[in-house]
């Protein structure tokens, strides 16, 4: 019988940090959002909706003072502050990321928050009151089939869905799995 204490097996090395993934995804999508908004403003201003893909999508320019589905239209400055808080939170969390999936998801949400925050700061009627440029209407013009949205809104939704799926699968932002943690705790 040995009197030496049992030593736990060494833990596997942690995955690399994924900060760069967050910022590359955010920069690319933010750039696409800004570009598509500029194209929409320069080509769709004062024009009728443009049908695309046999009416599956319509392009039209709408300036939205509210949040999704035009909610909270009188609280534009609050929405700008919330977007700024989201940006700060994601930047703070990104230093701890070791999961590529989480990095992509948070990069998408960051891009969307930055895209709409840019509009709220720099577009008319003024700082923290700017209206977000929306230009995509699915299934029918004028948002009759679905709310009119933009690339930033899409990035937020896709990023959010990805994060929810990863959470449901037990994948944590730090590259570990809640299933592995539970298994190790029971051993």
Query: Hey, which residues are catalytic here?
Result: 134, 153
H-helix or E-strand spanning residue 81 = helix 76-94
- Give the bridge partners for 57, in sequence order: 52, 138
Counts of helices then strands in the chain (DSSP H, E) = 5, 3
For every residue of 115-169, DSSP letters joined together read HHHHHHHHSTT-TTTPPEEEEEEESSGGGSSS--B-HHHHHHHHHHHHHHHHHHT
Reduce the DSSP state of residue 96 to 3 states and report it. coil
Return d(Cα 64, Cα 125) in angstroms, integer.
Answer: 11
């Amino acid at each position: 019988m040995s009197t030496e204490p049992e030593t736990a097996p060494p833990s596997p090395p942690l995955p690399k940090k994924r900060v760069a993934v967050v910022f590359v995804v955010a920069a690319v999508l933010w750039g696409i959002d800004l570009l598509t908004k500029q194209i929409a403003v320069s080509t769709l201003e004062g024009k009728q909706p443009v049908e695309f893909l046999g009416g599956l999508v319509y392009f039209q320019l709408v300036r939205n003072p509210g949040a999704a589905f035009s909610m909270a239209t009188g609280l534009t400055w609050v929405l700008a502050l919330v977007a700024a808080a989201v940006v700060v939170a994601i930047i703070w969390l990104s230093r701890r990321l070791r999961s590529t999936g989480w990095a992509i998801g948070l990069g998408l949400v960051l891009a969307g928050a930055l895209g709409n925050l840019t509009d709220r700061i720099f577009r008319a009627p003024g700082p923290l009151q700017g209206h977000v440029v929306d230009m995509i209407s699915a299934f029918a013009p004028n948002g009759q089939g679905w709310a009119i949205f933009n690339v930033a809104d899409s990035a937020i939704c896709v990023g959010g869905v990805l994060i929810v799926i990863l959470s449901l699968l037990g994948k944590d932002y730090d590259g570990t799995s809640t299933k592995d943690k539970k298994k190790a705790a029971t051993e």
